[in-house]
């Protein structure tokens, strides 16, 4: 095998999998993963096996887009049956742990009535021993708190669940990640290695720096067939855009959804990294356009469209640190982003509201994020102000303008904002869509529908602009770039969509108030 350097092609995709389901925060973090496996994924696969055709038809029905239906052809249902058997056999401890949580929460609801909690501990299921504390809030409402670092050391966290599939971008939308496990296919190179495997870092670094195939083969422990498959993902020359760096001033590029790349000649910052692999497309930025080295990646929150593991794994070895908001430490709905990333071999820096992180020639300040989490007590969420090249850029992500007063304080702390990026997915999914697996007490549909994952509407976005005193507004993070986000968000918009009408109303408000604005789609560049 050649010792000449080879370069990973820009159109290579990596899908990180756990028990064949797409890996994201809630399918990897131990407690949440156990509950998702037991209460959503396994029942979903069993439902499919009852009537595969119902699932297949529903998967193809546009009106049911984003629903939990397994999109696997019936001729492969035997493989799904084997997956179910393997999960029941190999993940018995996770399934048992999830049941124990449900039992313990029931016990706490019944027995923690404002009196001493000490007698409850011996009654907890034994698998929770050493991993939970029970506490009241000041209204005597009890809750269990998980000692989360230890859950990664317990038997419910196993890297045996992890594998990756490498393939070439086809341009065809992939199956929805929350519903459809990935079976093996001759079109993918499947490797049963953990996400933190050093060979993966070497592979992705080769996009810029190259690596001999023999070295990659050795590091990834490939057999002959796998090595041949890998060689098809590599090219003899790097495929990188000539203008991926700048030599003066500043630049911001919109890569789609919530992903922005901010650059000076000496530094680069990326927000909610999510980069297209469609290297031949001319209407979007792709891996070809990324700077070789990125000082900081800023993560705004833990939703699957903002902490995108497939892009983060693709950046391993070329990003200095990943900045993440601190969680509440142990709340069931609020897994730690820092623990998650560090167990996957990704370097994380945890920030609190108004913590600052400096980078060459600039500074990032973490600022509060309001709402958009179905009124659950999730703290692992942050907006950011990035000061660089004489500009102050507010990265608002999905934070809502539920209380505009916050933004007055933010302005007082970080100064006048020049450019504000605001998410306006203002008719978001209901509570149970993303958090259903974590609710051990039934919730009515009416209650779930009233609590959504919604960003700002027109009025709230206008209030944010007024309070920030920002001079430019850019609406982003709407999930409109279906080529990038379809398989992760399953959004669908048409001209009558409430969200798009709200964006138009906000654009009109901006024009009336002398604020420069745009509704971003696909790609955009600001240069000064
Ligand atoms: Fe979100
Ligand atoms: Fe989002």
Model confidence over 185-204: pLDDT tens digits?
999 999 999 999 999 999 99
Ligand with minimal distance to 372 CA: 1
315 three-state secondary structure: coil
Ligand 2 geometric centre to CA of 41 (Å): 22
Averaged pLDDT for residues 246-274: 98
**Cα-to-centroid distance, 478 and ligand 2 (Å):** 7
- The token pair that represents 443 in the structure block: 């919730």
Distance 523 CA to ligand 1 centre (A): 21
Mean of pLDDT values over 232-259 = 97
Contact by Cβ (8 Å): 236, 4: yes
Q: Does pLDDT of 102 surpass 80? A: yes
* Alpha carbon of 425 to ligand 1 centroid (Å): 9
Give the distance (Å) from ligand 1 centre to CA of residue 478. Answer: 10
Whether the Cβ atoms of residue 510 and residue 438 lie closer than 8 Å to each other: no
CA of residue 92 to ligand 1 center, whole Å:
32
Nearest ligand to the C-alpha atom of residue 272:
2
Number of the ligand closest to the Cα of 479: 2
| Span from the CA of 119 to the centroid of ligand 2 (angstroms) | 43
Ligand 1 centroid, distance to 365 Cα (angstroms): 20
Task: Report pLDDT for 494.
Answer: 87
Residue 512 backbone zone (phi > 0: left; psi -120 to 50: alpha; other: beta): alpha
* pLDDT average, residue stretch 241-270: 98
User: In DSSP terms, which residues pair with 333 in a beta bridge?
Assistant: none
Whole-number Å distance, alpha carbon 427 to ligand 2 midpoint, is 11
Provide the 8-state DSSP code for 286: B
pLDDT at position 498 is 93
- What's the gap in Å between 451 CA and the centre of ligand 1? 13
495 pLDDT higher than 90: no
pLDDT of residue 367 exceeding 90, the answer is: yes
Residue 25's nearest CA partner among 436, 366, 396, 333 is 333
pLDDT grade for 491, boundaries at 50, 70 and 90: confident
Give me ligand 2 centre to Cα 138, in Å. Answer: 32
| pLDDT higher than threshold 90 for residue 261 | yes
Q: How far is the CA of 437 from the centre of ligand 2 (A)?
A: 20
- Contact between residue 112 and residue 120 where contact means Cβ atoms under 8 Å apart: yes
Q: pLDDT tier at 13 (50, 70, 90 boundaries)?
A: very high
Ligand nearest to C-alpha 381: 1
Instruction: Looking at the CA of 274, name the nearest ligand.
Output: 2
pLDDT digits 0-9 by tens, 104-117:
999 999 999 999 99
Distance 107 CA to ligand 2 centre (A): 35
Task: Dump pLDDT digits (tens) for 372-395.
Answer: 999 999 999 999 999 999 999 999
Sheet with 319-325, edge to edge strand ranges:
348-351, 319-325, 294-298, 268-271, 259-263, 251-256, 524-527
Distance 425 CA to ligand 2 centre (A): 7
Query: What is the arithmetic mean of pLDDT over 300-310?
Result: 97
CA of 489 to the centre of ligand 2 (A): 9
Task: Report which of 379, 417, 359, 185 is spatially closest to residue 300, judged by C-alpha positions.
Answer: 379
Q: How much distance in Å is there from the Cα of 43 to the middle of ligand 1?
A: 26
Q: How far is the CA of 398 from the centre of ligand 1 (A)?
A: 5
Summarised one tens digit per residue, pLDDT across range 18-73 is 999 999 999 999 999 999 999 999 999 999 999 999 999 999 999 999 999 999 99
Q: Does residue 1 surpass a pLDDT of 80?
A: no
In 3-state terms, the chain is what percent helix, strand and coil (to 5)? Answer: 35, 20, 40
Q: 372 CA distance to ligand 1 centroid (A)?
A: 6
Determine the pLDDT at residue 302. 98
Q: Is the pLDDT of residue 78 over 70?
A: yes
Cα(189) to ligand 1 centroid in Å equals 31
| CA of 302, nearest ligand number | 1
Ligand 1 centroid from CA 377, angstroms: 14
Counting ligands in written order, the one closest to the CA of 399 is 1
Beta-carbon contacts of residue 218 (< 8 Å; ≥ 6 apart): none
Distance 222 CA to ligand 1 centre (A): 38
Cβ-based neighbour number of residue 162 at 10 Å: 20
Spacing, Cα 396 to ligand 1 middle (Å): 11
CA of 397 relative to ligand 1 center, distance in Å: 8
Find the 131 Cα to ligand 2 centroid distance in Å.
31
- Mean pLDDT within 151-168: 97
CA-closest candidate to residue 95, choices 437, 442, 441: 437
Point out the ligand nearest to the CA of residue 453: 1
Note the ligand closest to the C-alpha atom of 303: 1
State the pairing for strand pair 356-359/362-367: antiparallel
Q: Give mean pLDDT, residues 120-129.
A: 97
pTM flag (> 0.75): yes
* CB-based contact 337:151 (threshold 8 Å): no
Q: pLDDT tens across 392-440, in order?
A: 999 999 999 999 999 999 999 999 999 999 999 988 889 999 999 999 9
> Could you give the residue ranges of the DSSP H alpha helices within 123-250?
148-151, 198-209, 213-220, 224-231
Mean pLDDT (the chain, rounded): 96
């Amino acid at each position: 095998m050649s010792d000449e350097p080879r370069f990973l092609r820009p159109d290579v995709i990596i899908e990180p999998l756990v028990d064949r389901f797409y890996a994201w925060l809630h399918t990897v973090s131990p407690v949440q993963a156990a509950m998702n496996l037991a209460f959503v994924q396994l029942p979903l696969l069993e439902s499919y096996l009852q009537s595969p055709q119902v699932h297949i038809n529903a998967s193809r029905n546009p009106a049911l887009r984003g629903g939990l239906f397994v999109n696997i052809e019936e001729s492969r249902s035997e493989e799904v049956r084997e997956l179910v058997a393997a999960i029941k056999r190999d993940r018995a401890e996770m399934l048992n742990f999830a049941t124990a949580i449900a039992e313990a929460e029931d016990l706490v609801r019944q027995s923690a009535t404002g009196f001493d909690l000490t007698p409850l501990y011996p009654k907890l299921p034994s698998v929770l021993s050493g991993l939970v504390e029970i506490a009241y809030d000041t209204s005597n409402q009890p809750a269990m708190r998980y000692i989360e670092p230890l859950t990664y050391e317990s038997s419910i966290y196993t890297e045996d669940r992890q594998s990756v599939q490498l393939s070439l971008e086809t341009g065809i939308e992939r199956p929805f990640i929350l519903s459809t496990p990935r079976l093996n296919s001759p079109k993918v190179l499947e490797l049963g290695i953990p996400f933190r495997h050093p060979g993966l870092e070497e592979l992705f670094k080769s996009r810029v720096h190259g690596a001999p195939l023999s070295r990659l083969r050795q590091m990834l422990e490939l057999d002959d067939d796998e090595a041949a498959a890998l060689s098809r993902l590599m090219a003899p020359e790097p495929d990188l855009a000539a203008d991926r760096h700048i030599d003066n001033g500043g630049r911001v590029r919109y890569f789609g959804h919530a992903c922005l790349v901010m650059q000076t000649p000496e530094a680069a910052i990326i927000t909610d990294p999510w980069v297209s692999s469609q290297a031949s497309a001319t209407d979007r930025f792709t891996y070809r356009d990324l700077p070789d080295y990125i000082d900081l990646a800023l993560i705004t929150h833990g939703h699957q469209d903002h902490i995108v593991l497939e892009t983060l794994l693709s950046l391993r070895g070329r990003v200095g640190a990943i900045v993440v908001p601190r969680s509440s430490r142990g709340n069931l709905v609020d897994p730690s982003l820092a623990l998650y990333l560090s167990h996957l071999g990704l370097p994380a820096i945890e920030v609190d509201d108004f913590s600052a992180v400096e980078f060459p020639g600039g500074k990032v300040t973490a600022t509060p994020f309001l709402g958009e989490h179905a009124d659950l007590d999730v703290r692992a969420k942050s907006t950011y102000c990035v000061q660089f090249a004489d500009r102050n850029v507010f990265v608002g992500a999905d934070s809502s303008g539920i209380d505009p007063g916050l933004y007055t304080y933010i302005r007082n702390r970080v100064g006048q904002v020049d450019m504000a990026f605001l998410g306006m997915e203002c008719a978001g999914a209901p509570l149970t869509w993303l958090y259903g697996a974590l609710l051990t007490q039934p919730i009515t549909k009416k209650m779930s529908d009233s609590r959504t994952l919604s960003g700002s509407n027109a009025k709230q976005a206008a209030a944010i602009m007024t309070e920030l005193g920002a001079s430019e507004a850019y609406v982003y993070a709407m999930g409109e770039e279906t080529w990038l986000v379809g398989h992760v968000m399953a959004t669908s918009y048409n001209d009558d969509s409430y969200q798009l009408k709200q964006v138009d109303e906000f654009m009109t408000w901006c024009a009336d108030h002398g604020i420069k604005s745009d509704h971003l789609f696909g790609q955009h560049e600001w240069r000064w």
